[in-house]
Structure 1
């Protein structure tokens, strides 16, 4: 029987596929490990927030909750201020993000135009603020002189534009939208405003989604500015109220001794875990809806400045 001729192309593919398969398996295993490293702490906080705090402290809670209790969430929800904090924070997130985008995108478009002769100088002023500032005391004095202390306005307009986000948006518009579109629009009699609204914004959905997420997370987590500029309890965001609830429980546990002190400390720990979940859950619920845009737009600006 005649020997079958070996196909060098097929043999080459087989020998070449093994390294690819090994590499793919290694990447898959590494990805799973990274996912577990990132996801487990969050999962532990979730199960610890509804487990008996004594079992958590003894290390008996690892993968599943034990002796389920909702004391931490009950302490948070029983505080009437929590809903006021949610309402204030949602207001700051929505209004602040709208203002951020209303400033960032037009500024990014203007700075992306190569025929704007002063764009490098203007960009320098923006970038300068990333590395240097007047300091905390002059900032507070400026806000105070404007009459914005303890008002909701300051928590909305503060950091109206983030320079890093501005650079991302400018780079996207400059590198991802062809100049030919602008030339064609000009031939049709389109103004800069119409071109920006009808062409640039629809083609910038990816970067807009990323910037909305960045700005929304900033406003949601904004704690220091509220602590610095606001002394009115009615304007307090969620983070400030959760902090006060947490400190109140910790102070109570510190003032109780003996066996009761141990129970009080355990209750304070459960409140601590519940505070983390309450403060992060809304953002975690929003993220999946813009994930497809986030994956596309998050690397924008990494190639050219």
Structure 2
């Protein structure tokens, strides 16, 4: 039995109190949005609802699930996320592993060129002109190919391969006749599950939450992601509120539209965040294991 001193008990009490406070700070916004999504907007807008639901109603979720645009956006976001993550991993991991091999000619200049793009980019207009010249405007590829790789993720993955894949193991495999491709797919990837899980999570969150690229490159509503429809709801709600403040013959109608928009807004937030909340526990073990990926190990 380890005997704890008075100072140890004080430290544990303070540490537990800090972690409890931090948990409250993190969980309160989520609990507030959940409560607001099933509360009467009158109580939410007046500030009477601040923790638990008031005026319980599921009208917001009913309208969301009846809206074909929401389901279309949900499917499109899922497609962009799955396809985007597969493309990201297919580009990032081989590139990072090649840069981690000391025998690659010119690997340092290539790495410096990749790092250079982290500080300087062409900007929005050159990127749009490039996508347009490639014929990808208003296509699914406009959201997938320009974001095929991230410079910071390539550097982090390269550091992981350098730190965790020993050169002696590669040399032993080469002596046994293992080719570079077989070494990567049969030896390196199975030893890099933590890296793959972390990269998939990072890229997946980015694809699921993206809306600016779709706003710039897409005009066909059939290809809009869920976040773009959510933006429309938020913009429409703000316009309706401004019209209501300006008065008019349709004041009652505007008030009803505002109430409905408030209901749908919080409901869509929950619907949009739910997949990430459901998936995260399954990759948490690998994520915790890969927290120090890319760090300097001695």
Deviation track 1:189-226 (CA, whole Å, cap 9, x = no partner) reads 11111111111101100011000001111111110000
Q: Which residue of 1 aligns with 2:191?
A: 203
Q: Secondary structure at the match of 1:27?
A: helix
Specify whether residues 224 and 218 from structure 1 end up closer, same or farther in structure 2 by C-alpha distance, changes over 3 A only. same
d(CA) in 2 for partners of 1:210, 1:268:
36
- Runs of 4+ that moved beyond 6 A: none
Unaligned runs of 5+ in 2: none
**Matched-pair contact (CA < 8 Å) for 1:253–1:268:** no
2:278 paired residue number: 285
Q: CA 1:253–1:71 in 2, change beyond 3 Å: closer, same or farther?
A: farther
Does 1:97 pair with 2:85? yes
**Aligned partners of 2:153 and 2:44: how far apart in 1?**
41
Alignment match of 2:267 (pick from 261, 271, 274):
274
Cα deviation 1:146-169 (Å, max 9, x = unaligned): 110000112122211101111111
CA distance in 1, matches of 2:187, 2:13: 43
Residue 185 in structure 1 maps to residue 177 in structure 2: no
Q: Which moved further from structure 2: 182-191 or 100-109? A: 182-191
Distance 2:101 2:201 in 1: 25
For 1:45-56, list aligned pairs within 5 A: 45-56=33-44
Structure 1, gaps ≥5 residues long: 1-9
Following the alignment from structure 1 to structure 2, what is the Cα–Cα distance between the partners of residues 253 and 76? 20
Aligned-partner Cα distance in 2 for 1:23–1:237: 48
Match runs of 1:134-149 below 5 Å: 134-149=122-137
SS in 2 for 1:246: helix
Q: In structure 2, what is the equivalent of residue 38 of structure 1?
A: 26
Offset from partner CA, 1:111-167 (integer Å, 9 cap, x none): 111222411110111111111011111111111111100001121222111011111
* Structure 2 match to 1:295: 288
Structure-1-length-normalised TM-score: 0.89
Please identify, of 20-29 and 186-195, the stretch whose mean Cα deviation from structure 2 is larger. 20-29
CA distance 1:263–1:241, shift in 2 (3 Å): closer
How far 1:70 moved relative to its partner?
2.1
Q: Do the aligned partners of residues 263 and 85 (structure 1) sit closer, same or farther apart at CA in structure 2, a change above 3 Å counting?
A: closer
Shift of 1:274: 1.7
Counterparts of 1:74-85 in structure 2, within 5 Å, are 74-85=62-73
- Alignment partners' CA distance in 1, 2:122 and 2:201: 28
TM-score between both structures, scaled by the size of structure 2: 0.91
Please state whether the residue corresponding to 2:118 is helix, strand or coil.
helix
Aligned residue in 2 for 1:22: 10
